[in-house]
Structure 1
Amino acid sequence: MFAISLGDDGAELRPLEPWQAEEFLAHMDRGREFVGEHIALPDFVADLDSARSFLRSYAEKAANDAGRIYGIWTGGTLVGGVLFRTMDVAYGTAEAGCWLEPSAAGKGLITRACRVIIDWAIEERGIHRVEWHASSKNEPSIAVARRLGMTKEGLLRENYPHRGTRADTEVWAVLAPEWRAAKERPVS
């Protein structure tokens, strides 16, 4: 297995696979309420069987070149993850997403991990457009989209039923030429 360093703090990005279902479930249990505030992931990962099934679905997506999932570890503990919920190499599109438990929030882990996977998708897989969908109430996720240089393209009104209410979804995206241009600009 590989691990990609996410910086000097020892955080790592690694594939998240079905054999890690117990660790994934323990992580989800630690962050269930926090993670579930805006996304349904904790509702799908309720026990060991559902955790294994969820990770298996992403293993199948990876085998079919239709998605990927990666965990973020700090100090040897799984604290969050990033993924390509969808990926269509033929059309050159992908939708990135993320989650994080509260203990790891506010440290830039999601932004750093997303930079790694978006760069891989664009440079290695030829993806032209990476989308980011976020509840309009999920300010941290929207802030990540901004830090990644994405452009807000629209609002899907009340399109996402989540825990008894319908939420608006903001759609953000970055195109390959924009991504490359941003990488070439000097950091100030």
Structure 2
Amino acid sequence: MSTNKKISLTVISLTVFMFIFVFLQNLLFSSTNLENSKLVINKEIDSHILDSIQASNIVLFFGYVGCTDVCTPLLHELNAMYSSAAFEELQGSTAIVFVNLIPESKSDQAQLFASFFNNKFIGLHLNKQELYSIDRKFSLFYSPSISDKNELSHSDSIYLLKKKDTRLILENIYMTHPFNAMQLIQDIKDNS
């Protein structure tokens, strides 16, 4: 098979997978249902990467430093939500956290990237072991780009987590096409 056909088949396969990814997430979580462009999970998870986050609400997004087609627009939208009057009362209890999916990058890059959009956003850098320990917990999809070794193809879901005592609850997973900021704000208010 020619190289062009292999590349075309790979691109088509990745595209199909990205379209069905949200529905596969629903199958991975036994107690979920889909409503209002979100998957309702309400399931305790064990994720030590978030132990240092003090906020009771965590809005979590996975991507990579320098991603211009997915991460940059979504982080701009998260900043608009965070800076809105509707979100003002939640700022003290809610952390917006960006997790870099490229462990080979410099450890300070995730925080620099996240804080470019808002100086209160948190950027987390994970090593390979930490990344492997959480990818199934969050049903992450990411793979190296075929055309550029410095890029990834990755899922673009937003996760709402709630800290309850010593437990971490994955409340909802939000689809981002389109991103419904008002739904996320309302869910944070309802769970506070």
Compute the TM-score of the two structures, normalised by the length of structure 2: 0.31
Q: Which has the larger radius of gyration?
A: 2
Q: Which has the higher contact order (CA 8 A, sep 6+)?
A: 2
The structure richer in strand per residue is 1
